[in-house]
Amino acid sequence: WCQRIQNLITTMKFSLSVIVASLGAASAFAFNSGSSQAVAQSFRTTQKGAALTQPAFKNHFQTDDSSTALAATAAAASSDAIKTRGGGALSGIDVPLMFYFLFWYIGNYYYNITNKLALKAAGGSAGFPMTISALQLAVGAVYGIFLWLAPDAREKPTVTMDDIIKMLPVAFCFAGAHSASVFALSAGAVSFGQIVKAAEPAFAAVLSQFVYNKPVSKAKWACLPIIIGGVILASVKELDFAVSALVAACIANLFAAFKGNENKKLMETEGLKDRMGSVGNQFAITTILGFLISVPFVLLREGNKLGEFVTLFKTNPVISSNLIASGLWFYGYNELATMTLKKTGAVTQSVANTAKRVIVIVGVAIVLGESLDPIKMLGCSIGIGGVFLYSIIDQLLAKKKKA
């Protein structure tokens, strides 16, 4: 019991550290010098809305007149201060974007922990990784449908059957990338799986160049040996190394690279964005289709022992609670990541992705007691640094040419 309590305290301490680190990173990425007017306008709009709703509020709670007057005076003073100074405590910060970053990081961190706990309790790679990955998508699908049905939550998309058919390649790659990632994380350490997954640009470069006829610059090609070398170096000292984890993570990278290219083709479809309605709707439909595509593979690979899984799910709360939680975290952080990256530039995206990988790899390794060998962390640093360089090298060279 003492050991369990100590582990819980350690987890809570590090979770708090992750939240603080994520908040710091989020606030750094959310600074926007041109947003003070928007903040002031938003503040004034909020005050107007509060003034309009105040009578109804008073009818319900019998607010004291002196308190109301004091609140109104304070609000007016704050509004005047913003008008005078052009800002306030939040001047220059895109607050919604800051929270997008914050919960994207936290969601990714907790997904990796809850996912690993569910997989470990269910027997690891020899247990039910395909079933768990499919059910995680099912949880996300249910949540997405709930948002459509709940009043005033999210407007339903107006996609056609032709649109759905065109989305199938993206959904297939999405399901494949998720299933392979879950299997990789079930077969080895989460930190190792994340390091290998960081090498996705290498797969994307090869596919873009030779499959989709979209040439990759020589500068980006020069970054690939750095990425691959970092992954190899991290693998050398990985105590929990498994060939199956390495192969599965590489397959996940391949599916993710295909998904990125197929998604670009999909979004070129005339009128599709309007029929989707929002980024959230696109991800919800992709998740639903991904779950339906996963079902046959679950039956093929683990169908003969689904009865055993049902029993485990009913009797072992570690599996049931972490499976549901990981499904919600996965859906939430992916949707937030899409919304976040849509609002930022290329360099900010690269920095944000790099920071996210570092927080997840180090944080999860500490909480789950995985190895943090110096050679492994050196390889991790080289690989992630190579990914960051790959992401921004073309922009850096373009600026140098202009200068």
- Residues 67 and 58: their CA atoms lie apart, in Å, by 11
Residue 242 above 90 pLDDT? no
Q: Can you name the residues that pair with 93 across neighbouring β-strands? A: 31
Please give the single-letter amino acid code of residue 15: S
Q: Is the dihedral of CA 234, 240, 244, 248 positive or negative?
A: negative
CB-based contact 234:384 (threshold 8 Å): no
What is the pLDDT at residue 77? 41
The band of 342, judged by pLDDT with boundaries at 50, 70 and 90, is confident
The pLDDT of residue 197: 79
Determine the pLDDT at residue 40: 41
Per cent of the chain over pLDDT 70 is 72
- pLDDT at position 9, please? 44
CB 278 within 8 A of CB 155: yes
Cβ atoms of 291 and 134 within 8 Å: the answer is: yes
Q: Can you spell out the DSSP letters for 108-119?
A: HHHHHHHHHHHH
- Distance from C-alpha of 7 to C-alpha of 1, rounded to nearest angstrom: 10
Residue 321: what pLDDT? Answer: 94
Q: Any bridge partners for residue 31, and if so which?
A: 93
Q: What is the pLDDT of residues 33-65, one digit of tens each?
A: 344 344 344 434 444 444 444 444 334 334 444
Task: Tell me the pTM.
Answer: 0.72
